[in-house]
A and B are shown apart, each in its own frame.
Chain A
């Protein structure tokens, strides 16, 4: 908990240093967010990215895919739950069938046999369910270590973590190891995307924020949001 306070304090002090630019209505806490963003960026540069790079260079692609599949399989349970919560029963059944096939024939999920059978992987979480039920995103937020979020999605993430089966794993040592591998694997999968962001953006903070908000909106509508005509 102490580090969290430290991060917040750090963010607050740098918030004051930000010049009073025109505020984006979607991002009322921009000063604070930019502070956390800098903190995350530093952590990412000196810890997360080097670890993820090492992970990629040490483990063969084949093994990394298996590791990724293992975690993806566990997540299918709650992806299914969220599809049920959103009234998409066919999709929910699809997700649970994926979990059933992959956990058995796929050897605890390391082989994604369900995709080969035509059962497609979905992307759902509690933040999306809240959105589907009508909750707006609320102000944009950058969470320490976790990055882009909004008030709605932050609450969703808290529920995601609370519900995640990984948290039930005992002994604690094993659980912590699994968490660690999960985080490193996730960061490794994002190495390409972060390079792309670096290349494309004039102001990475703004570019990342807008991309996140667009992406979440698209996900809530399962890739078919009502079209917004650009003028």
Chain B
């Protein structure tokens, strides 16, 4: 009995250990991670001064674990995914991950000074595939929507697509990927992605 009372008391005071990420509801996960990252970005002097490497580092450490890049690459590849060898799949996923992390980092950095509005999740507790809606409120203009498509996995909820202002990142790469594969094959696409990533990395 005494034990229970302690737990309740500690809980009230907020001393209970934080819930591990695997058990967090998808909307709570998005909220926690977004707020943490935005706080880091807006307080970091190097990032403020324009350090891309530092910014990408933060996204890699904090956001990347919650993304399912394998699923994202498969969706962006469409029918061509089945034609890729395991080795090609691995390299595609790796290059696409690098590109997506950079794109997402730039988008989030652009909004880091704004207020975020985390919408209540409209889903049943039994759902395993949900969309978490976030809005970035900007003074004077229409809010920008960030919609995260998420799927429940054994290691917690994972993002498999991000829609920025109604534009799905994954869907937007589909035509490009399709065109490149048609013109120069899957290896050609891997090469194009490598070149792209190298150019971006050199720019700092």
Q: Which of A69, A215, A231 contacts B140 (CB 8 A)?
A: A69
- Contact: A196 with B166, CB < 8 Å? no
User: What's the least CB distance linking A217 to chain B, in Å?
Assistant: 7
Residues of B within 8 A of A115 (CB): 139-140
CB-defined contacts of B165 to chain A, threshold 8 Å: 215, 218
Residues of A within 8 A of B168 (CB): 214, 230
B51 interface hit (Cβ, 8 Å) = no
Residues of chain A within 8 A (CB-CB) of B21 are: none
Contact pattern, B 34-51, Cβ under 8 Å of A = 1, otherwise 0: 000000000000000000
Instruction: Say how far B125's CB is from chain A's closest CB, in angstroms.
Output: 20
Contacts A230-B170, A231-B78: A199 and B102 contacting too (C-beta < 8 A)? yes
- Of the residues B99, B106, B163, B179, contact of A196 by C-beta under 8 Å: B106
**Nearest Cβ on chain A to B55's Cβ, whole angstroms:** 12
Min CB gap A208→B, angstroms: 9
Task: Assess whether B8 is interfacial by the CB under 8 Å rule.
Answer: no
Tell whether A132 is near chain B: CB-to-CB under 8 Å: no
Q: Please give the distance in Å from A213's CB to the nearest CB on chain B.
A: 9
- CB-defined interface of B113-153 with A at 8 Å, one 1/0 digit per residue? 00000000000000000010000000111110100000000
Instruction: Tell me which residues from 150 to 168 in chain B have a Cβ below 8 Å from any Cβ of chain A.
Output: 161, 163, 165-168
CB distance from A224 to the nearest CB of B (A): 9
Considering the chains assembled together, what is the distance between the CA atoms of A211 and B106 in angstroms? 17
Q: Is B107 at the interface (CB under 8 A from chain A)?
A: yes
**CA A230 to CA B141, docked complex, whole Å:** 31
With A and B bound together, what is the CA distance between A199 and B161 in angstroms?
Answer: 18
**Chain A residues positioned under 8 Å from B78 (CB to CB):** 230-231
Choose from A121, A201, A210, A214 the contact partner of B142 (Cβ within 8 Å). Answer: A121
- Chain B residues near A203 (CB-CB < 8 A): 176, 179-180
User: Judging by beta carbons under 8 Å apart, are A202 and B193 in contact?
Assistant: yes
CB distance from B59 to the nearest CB of A (A): 14
The verdict on A223 contacting chain B, using a C-beta distance below 8 Å, is yes
Contact B179 A214 (CB under 8 A): no
B182 at the interface (CB under 8 A from A): yes
> Please, which residues of chain A bring their CB within 8 A of the CB of B183?
21
* Chain B residues within 8 Å of A199, by CB: 102-103, 106, 200
Q: Chain B residues in contact with chain A, CB under 8 A?
A: 75, 78-79, 99, 102-103, 106-107, 110, 131, 139-143, 145, 161, 163, 165-176, 179-180, 182-183, 192-193, 196, 200
Chosen A-B contacts, 21 in total, with CB atoms closer than 8 Å, are A22-B179, A65-B139, A65-B140, A72-B140, A72-B141, A120-B143, A121-B140, A195-B106, A196-B103, A200-B106, A200-B169, A203-B179, A206-B179, A207-B172, A214-B166, A214-B172, A215-B166, A219-B166, A227-B131, A231-B75, A231-B78
